[in-house]
Amino acid sequence: MAAAGHRDNSWMRLSRTVDLTGVAAADKPALGFQLSYDTEPGYDHVVIEAHTAGQDDWTTLPDANGGSSSEVPTECEAGFLLNLHPFLKHYLTPATTAAAHRAAPEPGTA
């Protein structure tokens, strides 16, 4: 189990390493987990990230069950999120039209 407490204006990362050595894309590997959250609609987001070990090729993973969105997050167009959380520049730009896959569920809906 991993947990992060609430803090306004924060970027919290819970990390786990998954060894996919010898696993081909044709094997259709899947990641499964349970998540408990309480988010502020439009402002708090959950992002599932992946990258190649030792590389800076970060990407976001969509929910295979349709629980994620690629809509541009609130305040992104003004640069607010990018100024507050510079790591998002791996996925977003101030004028982005294709955002990272993210879950921004209403509290209590999952």
Residues 52-61 have pLDDT tens digits of: 888 888 888 8
Q: Domain residue spans in the chain?
A: 45-110
Asked if pLDDT for residue 80 goes beyond 90, the answer is no
Question: pLDDT per residue over 37-77, tens digit each?
Answer: 777 776 777 888 888 888 888 888 888 888 887 777 766 66
pLDDT interval class at 93 (50, 70, 90): low
Contact 44, 81 (CB under 8 A): no
Contact 81, 75 (CB under 8 A): yes
Residue 65 CA to residue 77 CA, distance in Å, equals 28
DSSP annotation of 71 reads S
pTM for this one?
0.66
Asked if pLDDT for residue 11 goes beyond 90, the answer is no
Mean pLDDT of 29-33: 87
